[in-house]
Amino acid sequence: MDATLQSIFRSGFDRYREGHGVSTDQQQAANAIMSCCQTELGYEEWVCPHDGHIELQAHACR
């Protein structure tokens, strides 16, 4: 798996925050990075009319 900014934040931000502390703005920015394009922000379900295959399209952060 390739490392992405999101995967780096997800794997290490909690440890960083505990060791260094972060401002409210920094926490909000980190949360946006970690949750962008994940289903916890909601998603649309697309169903193929031909075979019924279902794709979930996660909402992006704004």
Q: Where are the domains of the chain?
A: 5-58
**Taking a C-beta distance cutoff of 8 angstroms, is the pair 39, 58 a contact?**
yes
pLDDT band at 62 (very low <50, low <70, confident <90, very high): low
Q: How far apart are CA 28 and CA 62, in angstroms?
A: 12
Give residues with Cβ within 8 angstroms of 38, minimum separation 6: 58
Parallel, antiparallel or unpaired: strands 43-47 and 54-58: antiparallel
Give residues with Cβ within 8 angstroms of 2, minimum separation 6: none
Q: Which pTM was predicted?
A: 0.64
13-52 pLDDT, tens digit per residue, is: 999 999 999 999 999 999 988 888 777 778 889 999 999 9
